[in-house]
Amino acid sequence: MAIFVDEGTRVVVQGLTGGQGRYHGLRNRAYGTRVVAGVSPKKAGIDVEGIPVVASVQEAVDAHQANASFVVVPPAAAAGAILEAATAGLAFIVCITEGIPAKDEARVYNALVNDHPGVRLLGPNCPGVISPGKCNIGITAGEIAQLPTAGGPNVGIVSRSGTLTYQALYELKQKEIGVSTCVGIGGDPVPGTSFVDCLAAFEEDAETDAILMIGEIGGSAEEEAAEFVAAHVTKPMSAYIAGVTAPPGKKMGHAGAIVSGGKGTAQGKMDALAAAGVQVGRNPTEAGELMAEIVASLS
């Protein structure tokens, strides 16, 4: 199985005719993802190396049976692109765009909750999602993702940090540990998909036997995840929290990664996860080593 995306996912790339959209859209297709169309109102009728470009997401749904979107457009156009995809009925939308104004993110989040409750947005400002060997939407390099094994055990990964998403994948690949799905939720203040959303999906996924979680300073997402783990997650977990040395009040990388008023610290998050039964590493490599021990115990 997998979560969110698999062999049946049919992707429309909003922004395929732009430089980044073309590069990553074609990389996704080369990985094996079923990229069925691109969208550009001004360039409809052309194709990008065999991928047809249409005028709207609705046309991609009607003519090419798209059921997921990859949004690769500038910040000013991102909110409109996400809502266009939702209005067209796509149930899964990945937006990698960085620098979207917080008010636009909040407006889109509320619009999805109120008007399109069946739609899942991943991101914005995230690396995307990969179910190794099945589907890759976003900017993750497919070659660092270990294919899941038929009999398991396989690991699900969820991460706020883009770079550490890649490192988590590579740590497991070096140890030849299969991955069911790897989800980068992004580090903006208003993410469309949370840790809890992913943990719930991994808990229900038959192909996922253990979970590796990568968090970072700022906000309360990791503490909320710890509460969920304690109450609902039965699968073994390891984790790493980035930002141990971050000074209070200073933003570190992501817009959401800021410690304020003594809240959102790395130590506080580590303590919450440990109290929930998660094995917490002091660095990404140690989190991978802890996961290797967990997988060995499951084999």
Q: Which of 66, 89, 122 is the last residue of a domain?
A: 122
Give CA–CA dist 91/290, Å, rounded.
35
Instruction: Say what the pLDDT of residue 207 is.
Output: 97
The four Cα atoms 254, 244, 209, 69 give a dihedral, to 10 degrees, of 0
Instruction: Say yes or no: 51 and 92 in one domain.
Output: yes
Q: Which of the four pLDDT bands, split at 50, 70 and 90, describes residue 261?
A: very low
Judged on CB neighbours under 10 Å (0-12, 13-18, 19+), 206 is exposed
Please check whether residues 234 and 107 belong to one and the same domain.
no
DSSP 254: S
The pair of structure tokens assigned to 276 is 């929930």
Element (H, E) at 166: helix 162-174
Average of per-residue pLDDT across 128-151: 97
| pLDDT score of 256 more than 70 | no
Residue 99 in any domain: the answer is yes
List active site positions.
254
Of 93, 122, 151, the residue that ends a domain is 122
| Same structural domain, 96 and 153 | no
Is the same domain home to 47 and 118? yes
Give one DSSP letter per residue of 98-116, joined into a string: ----HHHHHHHHHHHHHH-
Same domain? 217 vs 265: yes
Least confident of 196-200, 244-248, 258-262: 258-262
Residues 151, 255, single domain; the answer is yes
Q: Are residues 24 and 116 in the same domain?
A: yes
Task: Output DSSP code: residue 233.
Answer: -
Domain assignment present for residue 68? The answer is yes
Same domain as 170, residue 89: no
Summarize the confidence of residues 265-274 as an average pLDDT.
94
Joined together, the tokens standing for residue 235 give 């699968």
247 has pLDDT over 90: no
pLDDT at 219: 87
- Domain presence at residue 102: yes
Query: Do both 199 and 89 map to the same domain?
Result: no
CATH number at residue 88: 3.40.50.720
- Quote the crossing angle between the two packed helices 162-174 and 284-298, to the nearest 10°: 40
Both 99 and 54 in one domain: the answer is yes
Residue 260 confidence class, pLDDT cut points 50, 70, 90: very low
Give residue 192's domain range: 141-298
Q: What is the pLDDT of residue 265?
A: 86
CB atoms within 10 A of CB 26: 17
120 bridge partner residues: 92
* Domain end among 122, 157, 176: 122
Same domain membership, residue 148 and residue 239 = yes
Mean pLDDT of 229-235: 98
| Gap between the Cα atoms of 142 and 248, Å rounded | 36
Residue 48 lies in a domain: yes
> What is the number of structural domains in the chain?
2
Mean local confidence (pLDDT), 207-230: 95
237 neighbors 278 (Cβ within 8 angstroms): yes
pLDDT in tens, 2-22: 999 999 999 999 999 999 999
Q: What is the pLDDT of residues 162-216, one digit of tens each?
A: 999 999 999 999 999 999 999 999 988 899 999 999 999 999 999 999 999 999 9
Question: In this predicted structure, what is the pLDDT of residue 218?
Answer: 86
Residue given tokens 């009728």 in the structure block: 45
On whether residue 127 sits in a domain, the answer given is no
Residues 197 and 288 placed together within one structural domain of the fold: yes
| Domain contains 135 | no
Confirm whether 130 is domain-assigned.
no
What's the CA gap between 125 and 60, in Å, rounded? Answer: 24
The CATH number assigned to the domain holding 175 equals: 3.40.50.261
Overall average pLDDT of the 111-132 stretch: 97
Six-digit token pair at 275? 């109290």
Angstrom distances, CA of residue 39 to CA of 21, 114, 214? 10, 26, 33
Give me the mean pLDDT over the 229-252 stretch: 84
Position 248 scores a pLDDT of 64
Average pLDDT over residues 285-290: 97
Percentage of the residues of the chain whose pLDDT score is greater than 70: 94
| Residue 268 amino acid letter | G
Q: Tell me how far apart the alpha carbons of residues 163 and 165 are, in angstroms, rounded to a whole number.
A: 5
Give domain status of residue 60, yes or no: yes
Question: Position 240: which residue type?
Answer: Y
Does the structure show a pLDDT above 50 at 79? yes
Q: Which helix (H) or strand (E) holds 23?
A: helix 19-31
Average pLDDT, the chain: 94
- Residue 261 has which token pair? 């008023």
Residue 200 to residue 202: CA distance in whole angstroms:
6
Report the predicted TM-score, pTM, of the whole model to 2 decimal places.
0.94
Mean of the pLDDT values across residues 245-255?
A: 59
